Amino acid sequence: MPRESVDDLLAFIAVARERSFTRAAAQFGLSQSALSHTIRQLETRLGIRLLTRTTRAVSLTDAGERLFNGIRPHFEEIGAQIDALSELREKPAGNIRITASDHAVAHVLWPKLRDILPKYPDIKVELVLDNALIDIVATRCDAGVRMGELLAKDMISARISPPVRFAVIGTPAYFDDNPIPASPQELVHHNCINLRLPTYGGLWAWEFEREGQTVNIRVDGQVAFNNIHNVLEAALDGFGLAYVPEDIASSHIAQGRLRRVLEDWSPYWESYHLYYPSRRQSSPAFIALVEALRHRD
């Protein structure tokens, strides 16, 4: 295959994956018009339209969808094999892109990475903060982090944290003016700080369990955030009750700035797992990172 054909196909894959000439052009350091010209040349050679372009969006034709699904895995495999050549080096090397939630980044990934990355100076890691359950392949991430029950069935995973427990917390001043809830159902009478998660299509329902009984409560309050650390700050500022991972609130509880309630309704949920497609196993850099992140009891 001529080199220009390979370049044109790589350009097509980028546009199809990004659904944008602007974003795809940025990956190649080209102008949008130059990339558009490359795609038109490819379509002319093949004698068929691959993309439908409008002023607002780029979409695949049926032929484009077939070509994209047919060639993308082969180019990804070539990339993985090239990455695997780094095993011939003395030290693992490569770029690794991981997507994870705000809590997982701050309290699981980064505490481990800041200790291990100095040992691997040739490994570069990009952490992408996203609270949605995104498609890591479509977004060009090498791996993602989710709780165990949310893992995609076709992915390989490694446990990277102990089980996660959530806590309902509020300031002592808040409880001076409001009764302590005796059950999750009583939370509907409290001013609560909400967390918005895009994957769930709205505000997150607080989840509780005791003696086999599971209860999900939709709470209401004056403020809501899409970042768990902002939720904690609002609770510390006295804006009501919050439902946050136990580990980010524990020091404030120990120092008396926050008070915990409904602890007997707060079970341990699944651990965080690093998940990734099987092709990533061939990269020595990725293998080294997975082993360093793996949680050991």
**3-state SS of 216-276?**
EECCCCCCEECCHHHHHHHHHCCCCEEEEEHHHHHHHHHCCCCEEECHHHCCEEEEEEEEE
Average pLDDT score over the chain: 87
What is the per-residue pLDDT for 86?
A: 57
Q: What is the dihedral of CA 170, 175, 180, 185, to 10 degrees?
A: -60
pLDDT tens, 144-182?
Answer: 998 876 666 678 889 999 999 999 999 999 999 999 999
| Average pLDDT of span 193-222 | 88
19 against 166, higher pLDDT: 166
What is the per-residue pLDDT for 138?
A: 73
How far is residue 53's CA from residue 55's CA, in Å, rounded to a whole number? 7
How far is residue 36's CA from residue 21's CA, in Å, rounded to a whole number? 7
Phi, psi of 51 (to 5 degrees): -130, 145
How far is residue 62's CA from residue 52's CA, in Å, rounded to a whole number? 10
- On the question of pLDDT at 37 being above 60, the answer is yes
- On the question of pLDDT at 273 being above 70, the answer is yes
Please, which residues bridge with residue 144 across strands? 99, 275
The edge-to-edge listing of strands for the beta sheet with 194-197 is 202-203, 194-197, 224-225
Judged by average pLDDT, the poorest of 3-7, 183-187, 204-208 is 3-7
pTM reported for the whole predicted model: 0.68
Query: Which residues, other chains included, contact 285 with Cβ-Cβ below 8 Å and sequence gap of 6+?
Result: 83, 86, 92, 93, 94, 96, 120, 122, 123
Phi, psi of 121 (to 5 degrees): -65, -20
What is the per-residue pLDDT for 149?
A: 62
- On the question of pLDDT at 297 being above 80, the answer is no
What is the per-residue pLDDT for 281?
A: 57
Judged by average pLDDT, the poorest of 77-86, 186-195, 226-235 is 77-86
What is the per-residue pLDDT for 134?
A: 74
User: What's the token pair of residue 247?
Assistant: 């580990």
- On the question of pLDDT at 62 being above 70, the answer is yes
What is the per-residue pLDDT for 186?
A: 96
183 against 287, higher pLDDT: 183
- On the question of pLDDT at 283 being above 70, the answer is yes
What is the per-residue pLDDT for 239?
A: 96
